[in-house]
Copies of this chain bind each other. A is one copy, B any other.
Amino acid sequence: MVRSVAHLGPRGTYSEMAALAYIRWAKLDTGDELMLRAYPSIAQALQATATGETEVTVVPVENSVEGSVAITLDMLWRLETLQIQKALVLPIVHAFLSRADRMQQVQTVYSHPQALGQCQGWIETQLPHARLIPTSSTTEALTHLQDDVRVGAIASEWAAQIYQLPVLAHAINDHADNCTKFWVLGRKASHQGNQTSLAFSLPINAPGALLKPLQILAAHDINMSRIESRPTKRSLGDYLFFIDIEADASLPNVKAALQSLKHCTETLKIFGSYSLLPIDNPCPSDPTTNTSAGAE
């Protein structure tokens, strides 16, 4: 059976780009031939790996402008079985795609809410009167272009190439170093790497109790590189905390800290230790050469 990599589809999404980068790396590293497999939502892509339908799932976790991808964190907490095997960071360069001759013709812009947010300033300047319509992926936005010159979409130049759509403007993101971190999640832990992610709820319904876990990490000389709160969904003001630390969970000081954390948290989940994947050429130059399983 050919093992596959789940991601948010359809073809041409940034998630597919990240999945392809992982596939190239896996081939060089272990000789494994993995296939792409697109899903209509991040939740469904994650479930595919949890149920064993795919080997791993590549999902966005955090963008440098728009912040966390809430559904990824919520699903990771809920699914229980998934472990982080790798992280990778892709530069995100948005293009404006449209069949219009001039920008002034465009009245409506479609894209994923994160992409619309990342190009907010550009849209305000270039298309101040345009109606903005969110879509479930940057690629889905392209289905609205058809032959209508009054419509535009924000996606990658790579998607424009795949779907043979005209690019009216390129690198339209407001922040030049816009990038997104992805996680590669599987049912097995990688058990190695200088980053560890975990999450916990607290025994008393007050984030004041958060100080204790942070003090434990500091006392064990562990640097926290990120903290993100998410609602437990039980009641307003009741949170889960997702924390990334710069340390391998197999080190003695980290083991000791995690042991102490158990005593001051309600539920503690360790999502594994992993390393950052080196990305040489994040944007595949020839989209026809990818190893798509044809599921998209």
Residues of A within 8 A of B (CB): 41, 43, 62-67, 70-71, 89, 113, 117, 120, 132-136, 175, 177, 179, 181, 206-208, 210-211, 214-215, 218, 223-231, 233-239
Contacts and interface: CB of A to CB of B under 8 A. Distances in A.
A214 B210 contact: yes
B229 A226 contact: yes
A236 B210 CA distance: 24
A8 B18 CA distance: 35
B237 A117 contact: no
28 contacts: A64-B231, A64-B233, A64-B235, A65-B231, A66-B70, A67-B229, A67-B230, A67-B231, A70-B117, A71-B117, A89-B236, A132-B136, A133-B135, A133-B136, A134-B135, A134-B136, A206-B223, A206-B225, A207-B226, A208-B218, A208-B225, A210-B214, A210-B224, A210-B227, A211-B214, A211-B215, A225-B237, A229-B229
A227 B210 CA distance: 9
A179 B238 CA distance: 12
A177 B237 contact: no
Given A208-B218, A208-B223, A67 B65 contact: no
Contact of A229 (B175, B228, B238): B228
Contacts of A236: 62-64, 89, 179, 181
Contacts of A226: 207, 229, 237, 239
A285 to B, nearest CB: 24
Contacts of A63: 231, 236
A211 B211 CA distance: 8
A55 to B, nearest CB: 24
B67 A70 contact: yes
A70 B116 CA distance: 13
A234 B133 CA distance: 26
Given A223-B206, A237-B226, A231 B181 contact: no
Contacts of A233: 64-65, 175
